[in-house]
């Protein structure tokens, strides 16, 4: 039994935060942001919008794209680092909004690598024969946890959701995945408050903001992504020349460019949309996938490489045939 992505859908908030808008909030400039990140604007949720709202809309669009009815879904996975609340899971909230009673649902927490972790999980469930049709959503609303006085983080992150439908069948789809983590470097990217270490009732305001060691993260990210891709290709008996298109996590244009050079891969075959959305964490790859497919950058039978790096530290890669 093989597992294949048969539908995609996205949802991004209406609110647009441009580099010009950020110039009014923090000591930065459009030129500085574009040269260091590649980002020109990012989407931002309203105060009354939560991760589950974006996830629900993306899920409905993915189901429509796949031509499936709701009752055909037998598992829901949501990759997110920004759940509506500590519990219940955002996946259960989405399941309730969809009206899918008794369908199992749970969250996957691997931050920016969440979609890759979720894809590997869905693939394993299908190949084991446990489930046949899985709804996988990547969603994050990190702008709610950004200090707009910190130019190292406020220029990078945006909000969004992307969903895919993964179905069991005989046609080649997900070829393989490689997952990694290094918890000793947890403090490279973190959001300290709200859990059992620093409960909300005793946290000061600074602990509610995302923290990132940008320089350290950059170096480890490029090395980790290179490792993931090299070992995945070896596992799948493939070479970089077999790849028709790379869809990386849209973290930072400099990381994408450094990885492209490291792999000696043509830059024109790497899909980039970071200029429009910024870093949307777990939503980044499914949003890019949807846009790549709908703009005909990804065509039937193409070999597609997905790769991501994020807090944890976590990183990984997946190889799929479209």
Choosing from 112, 154, 252, 273, the catalytic residue is 112
Q: Which two tokens stand for residue 269?
A: 């075959």
Q: For residue range 131-140, what is the model confidence (pLDDT) as tens digits? A: 999 999 999 9
**Annotated catalytic, 112?**
yes
The pLDDT value given to residue 201: 87
The pLDDT value given to residue 202: 87
The pLDDT value given to residue 200: 87
Task: Give, in order, the Cα–Cα distances in Å from 160 to each of 89, 124, 139, 140.
Answer: 18, 26, 6, 6
**How does 127-155 read in b/e, with b if 16+ C-beta sit within 10 Å?**
eeeebbbbbbbbbbbbbbbbbeeebbbbb
Q: For residue range 246-262, what is the model confidence (pLDDT) as tens digits? A: 999 999 999 999 999 99
Q: Do domains 2-171 and 175-321 have the same CATH topology?
A: yes
The pLDDT value given to residue 108: 98
Q: CATH for 2-171?
A: 3.40.47.10
Average pLDDT over residues 10-35: 97
For the chain, the average pLDDT equals 97
Q: For residue range 52-87, what is the model confidence (pLDDT) as tens digits? A: 999 999 999 999 999 999 999 999 999 999 999 999
| Domain spans, the chain | 2-171, 175-321
Choosing from 19, 84, 252, 279, the catalytic residue is 279
The second-level CATH assignment, the architecture, of 175-321 is 3-Layer(aba) Sandwich (3.40)
Angstrom distance (rounded) from CA 280 to CA 258: 20
Q: For residue range 164-174, what is the model confidence (pLDDT) as tens digits? A: 999 999 999 99
Choosing from 19, 84, 92, 249, the catalytic residue is 249
The pLDDT value given to residue 203: 83
**Annotated catalytic, 27?**
no
What pTM did the predictor assign? 0.97
């Amino acid at each position: 039994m093989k597992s294949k992505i048969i539908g995609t859908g996205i949802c991004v908030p209406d609110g647009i935060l441009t580099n010009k808008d950020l110039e009014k909030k923090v000591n930065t400039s459009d030129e500085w942001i574009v040269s260091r990140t590649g980002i020109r604007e990012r989407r931002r949720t309203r105060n009354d919008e939560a991760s589950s709202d974006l996830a629900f809309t993306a899920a409905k669009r993915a189901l429509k794209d796949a031509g499936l009815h709701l009752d055909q879904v037998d598992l829901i996975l949501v990759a997110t680092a920004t759940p509506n609340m500590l519990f219940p899971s955002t996946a259960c909230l989405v399941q309730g909004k969809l009206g899918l009673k008794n369908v199992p649902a749970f969250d996957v927490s691997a931050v920016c690598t969440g979609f890759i972790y979720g894809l590997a999980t869905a693939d394993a469930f299908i190949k084991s024969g446990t489930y046949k049709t899985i709804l996988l959503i990547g969603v994050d609303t990190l702008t709610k946890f950004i200090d707009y006085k910190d130019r190292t983080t406020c220029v990078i992150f945006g909000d969004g959701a992307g969903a895919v439908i993964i179905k069991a069948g005989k046609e080649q789809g997900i070829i393989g995945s490689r997952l990694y983590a290094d918890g000793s470097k947890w403090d490279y990217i973190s959001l300290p408050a709200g859990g059992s270490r620093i409960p909300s009732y005793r946290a000061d305001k600074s602990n509610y903001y995302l923290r990132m060691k940008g320089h350290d993260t950059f170096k480890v990210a490029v090395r980790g992504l290179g490792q993931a891709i090299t070992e995945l290709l070896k596992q799948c008996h493939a070479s970089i020349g077999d790849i028709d298109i790379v869809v990386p996590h849209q973290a930072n244009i400099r990381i994408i460019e450094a990885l492209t050079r490291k792999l000696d891969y043509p830059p024109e075959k790497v899909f980039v949309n970071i200029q429009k959305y910024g870093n949307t964490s777990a939503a980044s790859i499914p949003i890019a996938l949807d846009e790549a497919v709908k703009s005909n950058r990804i065509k039937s039978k193409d070999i597609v490489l997905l790769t991501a790096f994020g807090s944890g530290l976590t990183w990984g890669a997946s190889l799929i045939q479209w």
